[in-house]
């Protein structure tokens, strides 16, 4: 279990970096014609959202995931105040894109708000992609894990469906770490823990589309960062590629739009079920922060 839990952290961060060079390109035909099949780490182009970054670095999502990993490794669990401090430190002189949720959270902090009331009203699904390190460190105590997952989400995104989505993916990853197939895990958690939530409907939509080409399915279900748009497409790719981690990550990236959050969540769930594969390990070896990540994982082992 611990090996796959570590793989979940590594794969999720590798997936974010794979998406870095093509993040937020919505026209999938342009994405394919300009970059081909994105199955290797790429530098962002000048004028893109992440033009200050280089190959092997992270989007602003991955940078925040790494901050949470560092905090978890430092505290041996989840300390909301420690994460709050490290998160602010990241953005004091940040050399990267700052999205609306981050700007709103920083404004709330400047007004004296703390980790439990600083969150923006954003419904972006990105904070759900930060959580693999919490699953790794707190997976033996599901109640504590869900409390921590919700708290880290609320710190930046105080939207009910977004908070529930982070909890959903944490519970699914636990099921997969325990041996469940991803498609069965997402359906089981949706129908038992979230049956009265939009999550149940989004999960069914994704599973019903599992036989479709993922670029086509995500284009229909939703490419954007908003939880209501992104969720079903993530489920579709998880179900379609539950036997192949790296192919699922590539499909998530090639579907365009907010492919960084999508790819990270797909990677988290598929790696929790299957561990790392050769291609994903190759991407991980190309990460600028590889040694820092491994040091954190070593502290948590």
Summarize pLDDT for 253-292 with one digit per residue, the tens: 999 999 999 999 999 999 999 999 999 999 999 999 999 9
Give the distance from CA 241 to its chain's centroid. Answer: 17
Query: Does position 77 have pLDDT exceeding 80, yes or no?
Result: yes
124-139 average pLDDT score:
98
Query: Does position 211 have pLDDT exceeding 70, yes or no?
Result: yes
Strand partners, 120: 157
Summarize pLDDT for 94-124 with one digit per residue, the tens: 999 999 999 999 999 999 999 999 999 999 9
> Look-up: residue for tokens 């989007």?
59
Summarize pLDDT for 166-198 with one digit per residue, the tens: 999 999 999 999 999 999 999 999 999 999 999
Q: What is the mean pLDDT of the chain?
A: 97
Dist CA 35 CA 42 (whole Å): 9
Contact by Cβ (8 Å): 57, 288: yes
Nearest to 263 by CA among 282, 245, 239, 243: 245
- The predicted pLDDT at position 237 comes to 98
Summarize pLDDT for 80-96 with one digit per residue, the tens: 999 999 999 999 999 99
Contact by Cβ (8 Å): 148, 165: no
Segments forming the whole domain that contains residue 10: 2-300
What sections of the chain are H helices per DSSP? 2-20, 28-35, 60-75, 80-92, 100-110, 132-138, 142-154, 160-177, 182-193, 198-208, 214-221, 227-240, 245-254, 259-274, 278-285, 290-300
Nearest to 14 by CA among 209, 260, 228: 260
Summarize pLDDT for 25-71 with one digit per residue, the tens: 999 999 999 999 999 999 999 999 999 999 999 999 999 999 999 99
Contact by Cβ (8 Å): 78, 148: yes
Dist CA 151 CA 85 (whole Å): 14
Query: Does position 239 have pLDDT exceeding 60, yes or no?
Result: yes
Longest dimension (CA), the chain: 49
DSSP letter at 120 equals B
Which tokens belong to 20? 């870095």
- The predicted pLDDT at position 2 comes to 81
Summarize pLDDT for 241-250 with one digit per residue, the tens: 999 999 999 9
Dist CA 259 CA 250 (whole Å): 10
Query: Which residues fall within 8 angstroms of residue 175, CB to CB, at 6 or more apart?
Result: 184, 185, 188, 189
Dist CA 172 CA 190 (whole Å): 9
Domain count for the chain, please give it. 1
Phi, psi dihedrals of residue 289, rounded to the nearest 5°:
-100, 20
Q: Between the CA of residue 231 and those of 33, 57, 201, 204, what are the distances in Å?
A: 26, 25, 10, 11
Q: What is the CATH number of the domain that holds 242?
A: 1.10.4080.10
Nearest to 176 by CA among 268, 279, 296, 40: 268
Summarize pLDDT for 155-170 with one digit per residue, the tens: 999 999 999 999 999 9
């Amino acid at each position: 279990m611990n090996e796959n839990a570590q793989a979940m952290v590594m794969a999720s961060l590798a997936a974010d970096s794979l998406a870095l060079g093509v993040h937020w390109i919505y026209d999938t035909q342009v994405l394919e014609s300009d970059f081909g099949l994105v199955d290797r780490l790429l530098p962002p182009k000048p004028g893109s959202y992440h033009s200050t970054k280089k190959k092997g670095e992270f989007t602003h999502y991955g940078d925040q995931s790494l901050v949470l990993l560092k905090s978890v490794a430092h505290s041996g669990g989840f300390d909301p105040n420690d994460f709050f401090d490290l998160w602010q430190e990241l953005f004091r002189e940040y050399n990267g894109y700052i999205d609306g949720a981050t700007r709103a959270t920083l404004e709330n902090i400047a007004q004296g708000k703390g980790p439990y009331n600083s969150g923006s009203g954003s419904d972006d699904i990105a904070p759900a992609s930060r959580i693999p390190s919490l699953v790794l460190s707190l997976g033996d105590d599901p109640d504590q894990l869900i409390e921590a997952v919700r708290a880290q989400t609320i710190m930046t995104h105080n939207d009910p469906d977004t908070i529930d989505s982070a909890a959903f993916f944490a519970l699914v990853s636990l099921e997969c770490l325990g041996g469940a197939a991803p498609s069965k895990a997402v359906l089981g958690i949706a129908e038992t823990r979230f049956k009265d939530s939009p999550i149940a409907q989004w999960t069914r939509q994704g599973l019903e589309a599992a036989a479709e080409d993922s670029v086509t399915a995500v284009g229909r279900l939703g490419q954007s960062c908003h939880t209501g748009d992104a969720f079903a497409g993530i489920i579709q790719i998880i179900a379609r590629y539950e036997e192949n981690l790296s192919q699922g990550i590539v499909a998530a990236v090639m579907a365009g739009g907010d492919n960084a959050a999508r790819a990270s969540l797909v990677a988290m769930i598929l790696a929790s079920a299957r561990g790392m594969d050769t291609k994903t390990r190759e991407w991980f070896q190309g990460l600028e922060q590889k040694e820092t990540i491994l040091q954190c994982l070593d502290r948590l082992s």
